Amino acid sequence: MKKASFEVLAQDSNARVGQLFTAHGTIQTPSFVPVGTLGTVKALSSADLLKTGIQAIIANTYHLHLQPGEKIIEEMGGLHGFINWKGPIITDSGGFQVFSLGAAKEHGVGKIASIFPGTYSGGHSYSNKGKPLINVEEEGVEFISHLDGSKHRFTPERVIEIEKKLGADIILPLDECTSPLHDYDYTMEAMNRTHRWALRALNQFHKFPSEGQALLGIVQGGEYKDLREQSSDFISKQGFDGYAIGGSLGRSKDDMHRILEWTVPLLPQDKTRHLLGIGEIEDIFEIVKRGIDLFDCVFPTKMAHTGTFLTKEAKRFRIHIINSRFKNDSYPIEINCNCYTCQNYSKAYLRQAFLNKEPFAITLAVMHNLYFLESLMHRIRDAIKKGQLSELAKHWLSLTLI
């Protein structure tokens, strides 16, 4: 099996079209990667997922370790065999859980709504604060399982061992994902610890090579320019197979844009760049323009579970289907959409299905949202090839004002 490699095919300023070759297929980039935390994109079978056109998924090492456990998955042919998905798979390391079970509970910061506190909180106090379920030390991280209260220790070496058993095509090392409310000193401390962990992970990765697997290095540094530059410089010199940008992306979308402008130019041009945890439509054009190749987010699937459908024909590209105005609407979510949902069901039916809490309704919503995003990514790739990304972005972003 061939390890992942990357080839740039076309550029439009900093945006680029590429091919990411993996042992289980080629990803055309830039590409959105849906989150399948436990190996499953919720509500979809592998066959359903194929119908959306999605090229790859990202699963979570921490959650798979807790349930069902890497040993069981390894015995069943790794993640590809266990979930019956023949395409590329990425596994995150559990670094985000360092944030979500730690600082996120302390600071009351969530991944979707308040990851950019300056944008969403309006300066008000945060809610849902609680006691952290982790303890970060130099050796690694001790987690208290949210399932049964049992204790689990993740070290950089242990995470690589688990990910090798899971057998994903692209794996990420253990890192410390910081909060937008962490100060400079703590962010620097966490960044330096992440760098030391990266070296340990890389050593473990090379000590027990797995055919076909690639390891990405993760850039940290929070919202601080000098730290992002230091981290980009350090990580890019270690010989990783590609790079991911993680941690706090500042307190607003503008901060995120600046952080990418500081970071991306310092990373090698011939290797893939993955932005962790971002995927709203308004963000996609901005991150692609700044040179991101892959990005993942729970947004489209999480919204689908609430009856929120993505569409080009509504403000902020979304409608909530249980709104009474769709009661007698015989049209699909999007008239020109070729997804299974739009080809077979009206807004009126989808509204009734959600009101009746039909499980199939969620499947239809997830299928549409992922198809919608993959179709958008196809348009973006085509626009980059033609040198027309700015025009396409201007057109799409103007729709948010309607």
Catalytically active residues are 92, 296
Identify the residue whose tokens are 């600046």. 258
Euclidean distance between CA atoms 140 and 176, whole angstroms: 10
Tokens of residue 290, six digits: 């700044």
Whether the Cβ atoms of residue 7 and residue 18 lie closer than 8 Å to each other: yes
Phi, psi of 173 (to 5 degrees): -80, 165
CA within 13 Å, CB half, 123:
0
Neighbours of 122 (CB within 10 A): 7
Who contacts 68 (Cβ-Cβ below 8 Å, separation ≥6)?
Answer: none
Contact yes or no for 188/234 (Cβ under 8 A): no
- Tokens 């069902």 belong to which residue? 68
Distance between CA atoms of 242 and 244, rounded to whole angstroms?
7
Residues ≥6 apart with Cβ < 8 Å to 395: none
Collapsed DSSP state (helix, strand, coil) of residue 295: strand
Query: What is the C-alpha radius of gyration for the chain, rounded to an integer number of angstroms?
Result: 20
Which tokens sit at 115? 């990851």
Closest CA to 116 of 283, 252, 296: 252
